[in-house]
């Protein structure tokens, strides 16, 4: 008699969980960094009166949102164990980058 023990597969990622972080951090950098550091014109969103996370939440609120999204991405990737290391590294980089 042969018995196979299987482990349940983690649920598939429906959407890359780091994508929302990119937008939040981009909004923060657009209003807190110089054009030279960003490599693009800083302040364009505010000049165009665009709705951004910073406009809605303020800089500190947007930073808090980015950290919460990082926590959410980390939780979503945990079932993937060692396979999630590159995505977690990207998620952490996105939140901590300054240009």
pLDDT recorded at residue 14? 47
- Lowest-confidence pick of 1-15, 32-46, 58-72, 85-99: 1-15
Q: Answer yes or no: is 13 within a domain.
A: no
Q: Answer yes or no: is 9 within a domain.
A: no
Q: Answer yes or no: is 1 within a domain.
A: no
| Token digits of residue 37 | 């550091």
Residue numbers of the domain that contains 59: 19-96
Residue position matching structure tokens 């939780």 = 75
How confident is the prediction for the chain on average, in pLDDT?
82
Q: Answer yes or no: is 31 within a domain.
A: yes
46-50 long-range contacts, CB within 8 A, separation 24+ = none
Number of separate domains in the chain: 1
Tens-place pLDDT, residues 16-49: 566 788 899 999 999 999 999 888 899 998 999 9
Angle at 28 between CA 66 and CA 16, to 5 degrees: 40
Q: Answer yes or no: is 27 within a domain.
A: yes
Q: 80: left (phi > 0), else alpha (psi -120 to 50), else beta?
A: alpha
């Amino acid at each position: 008699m042969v018995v196979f023990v299987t482990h349940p597969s983690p649920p598939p990622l429906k959407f890359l969980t780091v994508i929302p972080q990119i937008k939040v951090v981009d909004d923060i950098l657009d209003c807190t960094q110089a054009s030279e550091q960003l490599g693009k014109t800083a302040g364009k969103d505010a000049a165009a009166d665009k709705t951004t996370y910073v406009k809605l939440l303020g800089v500190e609120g947007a930073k808090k949102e980015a950290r919460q999204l990082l926590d959410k991405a980390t939780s979503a990737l945990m079932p993937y164990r060692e396979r999630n290391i590159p995505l977690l590294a990207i998620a952490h980089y996105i939140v901590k980058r300054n240009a």
